[in-house]
């Protein structure tokens, strides 16, 4: 049932399941009313074969100019006739409880159901829950409109993508790279469906049954029943009420035949192939490789040329000001941190160690606390462990 957003002030029974004819009338009414406040208003396509609905989900963006960049919740509340609102700031979902006036369902005709629903509430009052998600811009609107269409289809596509080593969500397609940040691939579902080998023409024309949705999503060139998993590393658990998602998992197990051509590959090989194809398709391979190289270079530099290593090489003990002076001069001589990595490539770590010792001698730093060459201002020869935090 709907009404979860108002559990602290209204019982769940105050939000009855909505019959299809009532839902359609409610949707048209709310679309018209919300269009007075936003230039773009819509409802994601509903899943087929639904016998009733728990609430109405609206997507909105681009407020009318009179409201500036934000339409106040109280204005929306009054405009759609809501009695209660659970307001959320920014581009998030706010919930509105709109009273169902007495006899509203009679003409459609569901008068008996309306009375039955009223009879189980203490005061006889029942409501529609209207969820309004304010999108940041049209790009977010289009993404959410796609991902939330046809019930759990977006989550099912996410599961199939995760099986292939990718991550698909309302923000688009990404290549996970733990523990590093994921690599963005695309925010456009037109591009994403094209990559997956799914027909947007079929998606736009609509589905009459859930099975048609399942057949469409498994027509992806990256789906293979032999590699399909609904649990395991990287696959999130879903709520029990996601019946369409659960039904799809069972449908795959009982309907789809394993492809020998693909399933002969190990799961790791199969995922690596898909990930590489994704990087090439979305023109992200060079960016991904550059980011990976940058991270590896940073790690390599940290391991090869740290303050503690220079201290040990030079025998300066805890004389960190001297260590820092030497490290700065080495960087200067070889052309910065990239120069240090190049120097290691040419001369090895032993070559870098010898250069560091030579710099120590050139600077005249003989031992901790005793310097014959230049020294940083305001520094004595005493140990200063606090300086270590500046050496890395």
Segments in the chain below pLDDT 50: 1-2, 369, 371-392
Identify the pLDDT of residue 380.
37
Q: 264 is in which domain, residue-wise?
A: 151-281
Identify the pLDDT of residue 240.
61
Identify the pLDDT of residue 354.
95
**What is the reported pTM?**
0.80
Q: Are residues 127 and 172 in the same domain?
A: no
DSSP 3-state assignment of 177? strand
Question: Could you check whether the bond before residue 75 is cis, i.e. omega within 30 degrees of 0?
Answer: no
Domain closes at, from 281, 296, 314: 281
Residue 286 lies in a domain: no
Structural domain count, the chain: 3
**Tokens 């020869």 belong to which residue?**
381
Domain closes at, from 110, 142, 174: 142
Q: Are residues 120 and 156 in the same domain?
A: no
Identify the pLDDT of residue 226.
85
Residue 319, token pair as written in the block:
């004389």
Q: Are residues 137 and 191 in the same domain?
A: no
Identify the pLDDT of residue 241.
66
Q: Are residues 35 and 56 in the same domain?
A: yes
Q: Are residues 255 and 330 in the same domain?
A: no
Distance CA 147, CA 154 (A): 5
Identify the pLDDT of residue 229.
85
DSSP letter at 60 equals E
Domain closes at, from 142, 163, 188: 142
Q: Are residues 173 and 76 in the same domain?
A: no
Task: Give tens-digit pLDDT for 318-355.
Answer: 899 999 999 999 999 999 999 999 999 999 999 999 99
List, in sequence order, every residue forming a beta bridge with 180; answer none if it has no partner.
177
φ/ψ bin of 376: left (φ > 0), alpha (ψ from -120 to 50), beta (otherwise): beta
What is the sign, positive or negative, of the torsion defined by CA atoms of 277, 283, 284, 286? positive
């Amino acid at each position: 049932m709907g009404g979860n957003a108002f559990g602290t002030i209204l019982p769940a029974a105050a939000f009855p399941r909505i019959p299809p004819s009532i839902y359609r009338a409610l949707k048209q009414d709310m679309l018209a009313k919300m269009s007075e406040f936003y230039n773009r208003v819509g409802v994601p396509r509903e899943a087929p074969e639904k016998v009733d609905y728990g609430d109405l989900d609206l997507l909105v963006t681009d407020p009318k100019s009179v409201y500036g960049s934000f339409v106040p919740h109280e204005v929306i509340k009054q405009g759609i006739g809501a009695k209660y609102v659970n307001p959320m700031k920014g581009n998030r979902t706010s919930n509105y409880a709109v009273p169902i006036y007495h006899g509203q369902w009679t003409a459609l005709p569901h008068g008996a159901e309306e009375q039955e629903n009223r009879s189980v509430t203490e005061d006889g009052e029942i409501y529609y829950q209207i969820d309004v998600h304010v999108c940041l811009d049209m790009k977010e609107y289009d993404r959410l409109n796609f991902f939330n269409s046809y019930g759990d289809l977006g989550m099912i596509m996410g599961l199939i993508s995760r099986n292939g080593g990718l991550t698909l969500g309302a923000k688009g397609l990404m290549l996970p790279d733990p523990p590093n940040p994921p690599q963005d691939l695309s925010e456009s579902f037109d591009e994403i469906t094209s990559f997956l080998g799914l027909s947007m023409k079929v998606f736009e024309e609509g589905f009459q049954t859930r099975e048609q949705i399942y057949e469409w999503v498994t027509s992806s060139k990256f789906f293979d029943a032999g590699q399909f998993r609904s649990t395991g590393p990287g696959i999130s658990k879903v709520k029990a009420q996601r019946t369409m998602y659960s039904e799809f998992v069972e449908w795959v197990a009982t309907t789809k035949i394993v492809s020998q051509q693909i399933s002969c590959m190990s799961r790791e090989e199969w995922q690596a192939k898909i990930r590489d194809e994704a990087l090439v398709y979305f023109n992200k391979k060079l960016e991904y490789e550059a980011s990976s190289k940058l991270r590896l270079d940073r790690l390599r530099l940290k391991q090869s040329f740290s303050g503690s290593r220079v201290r040990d090489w030079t025998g300066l003990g805890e004389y960190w000001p001297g260590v820092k002076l030497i490290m700065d001069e080495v960087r200067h001589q070889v052309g910065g941190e990239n120069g240090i990595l190049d120097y290691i490539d040419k001369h090895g770590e032993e070559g870098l160690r010898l250069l560091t010792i030579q710099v120590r001698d050139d600077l005249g730093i003989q031992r901790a606390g005793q310097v014959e060459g230049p020294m940083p201002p305001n520094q004595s020869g005493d140990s200063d462990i606090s300086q270590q935090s500046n050496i890395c």
